[in-house]
Amino acid sequence: MSEIKFPIYLDHHATTPLDPRVLDEMMPYLTEKFGNASSLDHPFGYEASVAVESARDKIAKAIGARHDEIIFTSGATESNNLALIGTMEKYKDKGDHLITCVTEHKAVLDTARHLESLGKKITYLPVNEYGEINLEQLEDSIKEKTVMISIMTANNEIGTIADVEKIGNIAHDHDVFFHTDAAQAVGHIPMNVEKMNIDLMSFSAHKMYGPKGIGALYVRGVKPRIKPNPILHGGGQERNIRSGTLNVPGIVGFGRAIELSQHEMKAENNRFHKWSVEMFESFFNAGGKQNGHPTKRLEHNLNVYFKGIESKSIINSISKEIAISAGSACTTQIVEPSHVLLSLGFAEERAHSSLRIGIGRNNTHAEIQYVTENIISCVKKLEKITL
Ligand SMILES: *Cc1c(COP(=O)(O)O)cnc(C)c1O
């Protein structure tokens, strides 16, 4: 059995493959168990509803939440929209100010821009060279009219992990809600909404080996009890917070995926830690520099800068065999440099010469070694051309 499977997929921040164990669990709900989870008058609906509630339990348990604090959505993009728009609208009597940060995913940044167009006031906190906000600056930016702080848990490009617990503490000291986009964190690092003082949290199944098109918003039920206004109107599913017929197979898969991630997280992170350290060391020796925080980072993320080497040239020359990314998938249609790398204070050149690698569950050590060698030999070749 070959230890290398071509093409080698190393873009797990964009999406992850569906774990076959997740598909097995979903299969009956894609076929004979097709009921609508709201049709409680007959066994078809009832069995779908039981499956949904069992998945909801697993998801709640994995993040230290209560069953009824999980609202199913179509993914983290929708969860972010619901959290920001729904909460700012619902609590408009309290104020009109939202605090977020410049390195957020577009699903937060563009939602914040939309809120600005509706007259809300937004503070975009800057970050240091590692992608961290300054907590004193965060506290100083809280005003009388501040309703919410939204800061992501782990960055999807550079892997930097924020001090979520402290941010939540600051928010609560000032009676401000705390939302976090944890799409890259849930399933990868331990998350606990109680311990971390989180009031609203967005996450998504396809970032943790589950299916695409299903995600959740955690919405705190007590101390404080929050209820964002809906952004989708209709049948009143999900406690009137998110209407629409539930995606039963997706939800069942999401439940299984998060359960598996809790079992495998520790072993996977140990493995990914060894591999990413090894990869970084080889890249350093070839002149590469790390983007993101040296230690407070996702173990499966590498973001590396090779001075003077366009990342697109590397990607183009290895793309038949190796799938990696120049930035985030959501912006790869646009040739704009990464807003995250620019926010770290780097010039456009660095943003155009950086690669993002996301290691995943099915990768092998042989693949990591193969990719490392190939990237380095590619860099060396390109260096010769540019000299
Ligand atoms: C992938 C991602 C999203 C978008 O999630 P979808 O489920 O694809 O809508 C939002 N935020 C972050 C940080 C992500 O990595």
On the CB side of 297, CA atoms within 13 Å amount to: 22
Q: Band of the pLDDT at 276, cuts 50, 70, 90?
A: very high
Is 291 a pocket residue for ligand 1 (Cβ < 6 Å)?
A: no
Q: Band of the pLDDT at 327, cuts 50, 70, 90?
A: low
Ligand 1 atom at minimal distance to the Cα of residue 215: 7
Q: Band of the pLDDT at 160, cuts 50, 70, 90?
A: very high
Which position has the token pair 């620019």? 342
Find out whether the peptide bond into 7 is cis, omega within 30 degrees of 0: yes
Q: Are residues 255 and 287 in the same domain?
A: no
Q: Of 243, 259, 275, which closes a domain?
A: 259
312 CA distance to ligand 1 centroid (A)?
A: 23
**Mean pLDDT value of segment 163-171:** 98
Residue pair 355/315 in contact (Cβ under 8 Å)? The answer is: yes
- Identify the bridge partners of residue 200 per DSSP, sorted by sequence position: 179, 219
Find out whether the peptide bond into 228 is cis, omega within 30 degrees of 0: no
- pLDDT for position 89: 98
Residue 135 neighbours by CB distance under 10 Å: 15
Q: Taking the mean position of all CA atoms in its chain, how far away is CA 359?
A: 15
CA distance 190 to 268: 13
Q: Does residue 333 carry a pLDDT above 80?
A: no
Domain at 104, CATH number: 3.40.640.10
* Segments forming the whole domain that contains residue 247: 20-259
Q: Are residues 73 and 202 in the same domain?
A: yes
Nearest CA among 181, 179, 183, 218 for reference residue 204: 183
Number of domains in the chain: 2
Is 105 a pocket residue for ligand 1 (Cβ < 6 Å)?
A: yes
Q: Are residues 381 and 344 in the same domain?
A: yes
Residue 100 lies in a domain: yes
- pLDDT for position 232: 97
Ligand 1 atom at minimal distance to the Cα of residue 155: 13
Q: Band of the pLDDT at 335, cuts 50, 70, 90?
A: low
- pLDDT for position 385: 85
Q: Are residues 183 and 68 in the same domain?
A: yes
**Mean pLDDT value of segment 323-333:** 67
- pLDDT for position 1: 44
Is 76 a pocket residue for ligand 1 (Cβ < 6 Å)?
A: yes
Is 75 a pocket residue for ligand 1 (Cβ < 6 Å)?
A: yes
CA distances from 97 to 89, 141, 305, 341, 359 (A): 11, 10, 36, 26, 38
DSSP character at residue 257: H
For a mutational test of ligand 1's pocket, the pick from 74, 77, 78, 330, i.e. the residue with the most ligand atoms closer than 8 A to its C-beta, is: 77
**Mean pLDDT value of segment 39-64:** 97
The mean-pLDDT minimum among 217-226, 322-331, 347-356, 376-385 falls in: 322-331
- pLDDT for position 326: 84
DSSP-based three-state secondary structure for 219 = strand
Q: Of 259, 288, 313, which closes a domain?
A: 259
Q: Of 237, 259, 281, which closes a domain?
A: 259
**Mean pLDDT value of segment 155-172:** 98
* Catalytic residue selected from 330, 335, 347, 366: 330
Q: Are residues 227 and 297 in the same domain?
A: no
Number of H helices, E strands in the chain: 12, 12
Q: Are residues 211 and 329 in the same domain?
A: no
- pLDDT for position 336: 82
DSSP character at residue 154: B
Mean pLDDT score of the chain, rounded to an integer?
96
DSSP string, 306-328: -TT--HHHHHHHHTTTEE-BSS-
Q: Are residues 237 and 297 in the same domain?
A: no
Is 107 a pocket residue for ligand 1 (Cβ < 6 Å)?
A: yes
Q: Band of the pLDDT at 153, cuts 50, 70, 90?
A: very high
Residue pair 32/161 in contact (Cβ under 8 Å)? The answer is: no
**Mean pLDDT value of segment 224-245:** 97
Domain at 362, CATH number: 3.90.1150.10
Q: Band of the pLDDT at 319, cuts 50, 70, 90?
A: confident
CA distance 195 to 218: 14
- pLDDT for position 387: 65
Helical residues (DSSP H) of the chain, grouped into ranges: 20-30, 43-63, 76-81, 87-90, 106-117, 135-140, 164-173, 248-285, 311-318, 339-343, 348-352, 365-386
Q: Are residues 233 and 271 in the same domain?
A: no
Q: Are residues 163 and 149 in the same domain?
A: yes
Q: Pairing between strand 215-219 and 200-204?
A: antiparallel
Residue 64 neighbours by CB distance under 10 Å: 16
Query: What pLDDT, in 10s, does the model give residues 102-125?
Result: 999 999 999 999 999 999 999 999
**Mean pLDDT value of segment 258-276:** 98
Q: Does residue 100 carry a pLDDT above 60?
A: yes
CA distance 3 to 66: 42
330 is catalytic: yes
